[in-house]
Amino acid sequence: MTLVEFMISGSIAAILLSAVAMLTFYTGRSFASMANYIELDQHSRGTLDQMSQQIRQTTKLLSATSQKLVFLDHDGSNLTYVYNPTNRTLIRQKTGQPDKVLLTGCDNLEFNIFQRNPINGTYNQYPTANAATCKLVQLRWTCSRDNIYSRFNTESVQSARIVIRKQ
């Protein structure tokens, strides 16, 4: 093999290796993001299902802020959902049961409460500041996971409205 042949083959090999390296890098990043998305969606969906089921069968809302909801549960005990922005967690508290962390890596979470009266020509209900007149609870949160490239590259947003059936 002459020097010229060696240089040409070396250049081709370098180009090919660069292409493979870039593809590997891109694929690795995509795999990391996808794994995060799946994990986030799995947890968010599970939490949403649990909260929907539990809030629907509560008796009424006792107090509410944008980060904390306290319900009177169907069995007469208190059921609380509280967001801790410092720890980025959503926690479920129920009298007589250990606290349960529903969400981790939660960057923001907001509760809103509404009356039952729908607003004409919209899908919205009238908001309320009084827990006693609350019929509808809206949940919104954004969770994210670290990945090796950037933290907010992987985030999942959830939103739901839940009607308190017994109220």
Partner 1 sequence: MVEVLVAVGIIGIMFVSLYSGFSSGFAVVQLARENLRATQILQEKMETIRLYTWEQLNTPNFIPTNFLEDFYATTNANSGVVYTGSVTIAACPITEAYSNDLRQVTMKVQWESAGILRNREMITFVSRYGLQNYIY
Residues that bind partner 1 in the complex, under the rule CB under 8 A: 23, 27, 30-31, 34, 37-38, 41, 45, 48, 108, 116-118, 120-123, 125, 135-136, 140, 142, 157-163, 165, 167
Q: Are 51 and 139 a contacting pair, CB within 8 Å?
A: yes
State which residue, 58 or 158, has the beta carbon closest to partner 1.
158
State which residue, 101 or 157, has the beta carbon closest to partner 1.
157
State which residue, 45 or 151, has the beta carbon closest to partner 1.
45
**Minimum CB distance to partner 1, residue 73 (Å):** 17
State which residue, 32 or 91, has the beta carbon closest to partner 1.
32
**Minimum CB distance to partner 1, residue 98 (Å):** 29
**Minimum CB distance to partner 1, residue 118 (Å):** 6
